[in-house]
Chains A and B, each alone.
Chain A
Amino acid sequence: MLLSSFAGKNYIKMAEEKKLFKVKIDNISVEVEPGTTILNAARQIGGEIVPPAMCYYSKLQGSGGKCRTCLVKVSKGSDADPRPMPKLVASCRTTVMDGMEVSNITSPEVLEARKGVVEFLLLNHPLDCPVCDQAGECHLQDLSYEHGADSTRYEFKRRTFDKVDLGDKIKLHMTRCILCYRCVYTADQLTEKREHGILGRGDASEISTYISQSLDNDFIGNVIDVCPVGALTDQTFRFKNRVWFLKPVDAHRDCENPKCCGKTVLWMRGNEVFRVTARKDKYGEVEAFICDTCRFDKKDVKDWIIEGPRKIERHSVISQGHYVNTVKPKDALVEVLDGRQPKLLFNIHSESQVNRPDIDLSKIHGPAHSDDFKK
């Protein structure tokens, strides 16, 4: 009691005296608290100078340092010791010093190294974006678009793995994995017992449960959200729709699970809820984790209180749907036809066996099959 109050007082005193560190990143100055990493200091500045991060996840302790996309050059260590750091450093795991100067996009060396890292990450990646559910919200897609080369120099067979069902809710497609370890940290820090991990070493390492078993825990669904690529996907959503055809809306519900915040994004088309995810910020990190009940079992609009459309960054392919402030284009045909309605040869909905709007695609288990549309 005595000790703790003493410590508390000390802490307040420290907070008052706490000196902020001045850091310069790409010649932009920012003042941050001691202990901040270079990456987070850059995020405080924002914009183009923020290094990309594939494995770092601010909500997961100990993550980062592995993918090497966030490498930066420290051209001045600190005011006290101005020597530059001899190698490029992982900005997500290097803390700032007072007076540090960092070059990211202003250093050709960094850009060169980053290009190399992107090439390495894509070396064994299948590039099956056209059939990948992550396409459109994939960090590797964004990264290679921004920093990668337009062709590969790799002439060998790519490494492949079999697809694995980690239970009936999560699909593991190891071939796409970039081994960021985020899902391992998620299971470690969110669930009671981690049931999966990394097996093997080198380019043969894989995410696995060792002996095939299902991941079963009320928070394990978050591994889908933290996965930067399409290695871990939602079985209840796989092949149901492309993300950019869906309308993300913020919604919440009173979740029974005390650890779950119940604040989610519903990905809808019409009144159909195709999938539920946590809310992600502009760095693709979730704001708060959600439980598996919210994610997998509440696929009805009635379960949710809708708050409104989610803001998606303008350059994202998801916002190509233009679902906010949309102006319906004027139907020119009516004008041309002097007010007459265009004559349809037939109504496709009444003729076709597929395209039946009364069938909810999101309620069908697995990919839709023609059998699902039989009358």
Chain B
Amino acid sequence: MGRKLLLDKAHIEGIRYYDTYRSNGGYAAAEKALKTMGPDAVLEEVKKSGLRGRGGAGFPTGLKWSFIAKPEGVPRYLVCNADESEPGTFKDRYLMEFIPHLLIEGLIISSFALGANSAYIYIRGEYAWIPDILEQAIAEAKNKGWLGKNILGTGFDLEIYVQRGAGAYICGEETALIESLEGKRGNPRIKPPFPAVKGLWQCPTVVNNVETLAAVVPIINIGGDEYIKYGTGKSTGTKLISACGNINKPGVYEIEMNISVEEFIYSDEYCGGIKNNKRLKACIPGGSSVPVLPANLLLKTAKGETRMMTYESLADGGFATGSMLGSGGFIVMDEDQCIVRNTLTFARFYHHESCGQCSPCREGTGWMEKVLKNIEYGKGKMSDIDLLWDIQRKIEGNTICPLGDAAAWPVAAAIRHFRDEFEWHVAHPQEALTRNFGLAHYADPLPAPVAAV
């Protein structure tokens, strides 16, 4: 059994409520941080832990916190990004729904470290029932003196507010989230200035993912030095993975970042293998925006090493032969899945969710969707594949926010690794409507890398 830090008490009945949470060791970290440690000591501990942002980019949290500007007389804000809208990712939902106090405790500790007296939870509009759970938990915590004025007699004040989004994926981008929180249209801001300098209401702001903030609790509990002992290398601690697709046991798993991808998919502790004894064809390891990998590149890196569930190992080989851990939305596809159709689905999503502010993303996402639709429905041309490649290349990196990249990467990776499947769709338009390309050679062992002479 892998060790757990976040979901270790998730099985306890009633952990959703304050009394159960508290009697099982909850709020011990907040007590420790506020009473015995200062804000600087908390920051130091988080830095030491090597905790990396769990929202997708994997930026070191301690470093992010240390960037926050501290001008005199200007309030600072902590914003919890709970706008979890990436297709394939549903880990934060689990945390907020079942252990809301873990997030609130994390928010208290983090706000204390940052010197923020207001914290906002910006939650995805479609999670319609969760704000009630969170607000109930906040009320409980406030009743017990964990929120409000002069918490635990330390002189530290904190209020937590829950704000619902209105169902836009783009509001998961931190500056769009801030705009939306201010009551404006959710358009990403042009950076710089970064939120750490001018964020919410033009004040210094830190935006963190739900899981990141929750992970602060075990870090304070066990200490940064102990936290490093979980995981491997720079991928410290545990990570929530939301596994879905053609697997026997879809769900949210907490993994220690020291297991292999193969183990994660096939062991009974986690996904339990591919459904109906089919063969693995491809996998998107970190949510819809990260590159898709064929089975042979997923289990072993191009260098022939075993691919591990860590930030580094999944990214090994760059985008040419690697992918990203991203937000942990692990989508597994078996031999019956069609990559072209899957790519079309993602392209449709990004087209629908583009905010329309900058031209490459506004126009390019729709174009890619239309071209992919043609290919999928037997009206494609061979030149369309090159056209798609060219469109994604002109979107990537040229947009205001990462949504453009997120729209371009899945298309790029699908063409890079599954070009013959696209070509087959174009060459056999009638057949492609009735059957799938199948596994083909995507699970064949890769040629052994030749050592450079």
Contact = CB atoms under 8 A, between A and B. Distances in A.
A67 B366 contact: no
A65 B190 contact: yes
Interface in B327-374: 351-360, 362-367, 370
B430 interface: no
A88 B398 contact: yes
A178 B168 CA distance: 22
Interface in A14-73: 64-68, 71
B357 A120 contact: no
Contact of B366 (A64, A119, A181, A203): A203
Nearest to B359: A120
Given A90-B190, A203-B351, A124 B357 contact: no
Given A66-B357, A66-B358, A178-B359, A202 B366 contact: yes
A123 B354 CA distance: 16
Nearest to A123: B363
Q: Taking each of B357, B365, B400, which has the highest tally of chain A beta carbons within 10 Å of its own beta carbon?
A: B357
B390 to A, nearest CB: 8
A283 interface: no
Interface in A193-249: 197-198, 200-205
A198 B367 contact: no
A111 interface: no
B364 A202 contact: no
A263 interface: no
Interface in A70-99: 71, 87-88, 90, 93
A6 interface: no
Interface in B391-433: 393-395, 397-400
A179 interface: yes
Nearest to A124: B363
A123 B356 CA distance: 14
A154 interface: yes
A179 B398 contact: no
A68 B359 CA distance: 7
B362 A205 contact: yes
B185 interface: yes
Chain A, interface size: which category?
A: 20 to 34
A330 interface: no
A245 to B, nearest CB: 32
Contacts of B359: 66-68, 117, 120-121, 178-179
Nearest to B351: A202
Contact of B400 (A65, A123, A124, A179): A65
Contacts of A68: 358-360, 398-399
Q: Taking each of A87, A116, A200, A204, which has the highest tally of chain B beta carbons within 10 Å of its own beta carbon?
A: A116
Interface in A137-168: 153-154, 156
Given A123-B367, A154-B367, A202 B362 contact: yes
Contact of B360 (A117, A178, A197): A117
B387 interface: yes
A201 B166 CA distance: 13
Contact of A201 (B356, B370, B397, B399): B356
A117 B363 CA distance: 9
A116 B387 contact: no
A95 to B, nearest CB: 8
B362 A179 contact: yes
Contacts of B399: 68
A317 interface: no
B183 to A, nearest CB: 13
Contacts of B400: 65-66, 90
B409 to A, nearest CB: 14
A132 interface: no
A330 B360 CA distance: 53
Nearest to B405: A87
A203 B358 contact: no
A113 interface: yes
B394 A120 contact: yes
Nearest to B350: A202
A202 B168 contact: no
Nearest to A121: B359
B408 to A, nearest CB: 12
Nearest to A159: B366
Given A67-B358, A179-B357, A113 B363 contact: no
Contacts of B360: 68, 116-117, 120
Nearest to A118: B359
B367 A116 contact: no
Contacts of A119: 394
Contacts of A64: 190
A134 to B, nearest CB: 18
B398 A201 contact: no
Interface in B7-58: none
Interface string B120-134: 000000000000000
Q: Taking each of A65, A67, A93, which has the highest tally of chain B beta carbons within 10 Å of its own beta carbon?
A: A65
Contacts of A65: 190, 358, 400
6 contacts: A65-B400, A153-B387, A156-B370, A198-B185, A202-B362, A203-B356
Given A120-B359, A203-B362, 20 more contacts: A64-B190, A67-B358, A67-B359, A71-B398, A88-B397, A93-B190, A116-B394, A117-B359, A117-B398, A120-B360, A120-B364, A121-B359, A181-B357, A198-B356, A201-B354, A201-B355, A203-B356, A203-B365, A204-B356, A205-B355
Interchain residue pairs A-B with the least CB separation, the first 5: A116-B394, A205-B356, A65-B190, A120-B363, A202-B354
Interface of A: 64-68, 71, 87-88, 90, 93, 112-113, 116-117, 119-121, 123-124, 153-154, 156, 178-179, 181, 197-198, 200-205
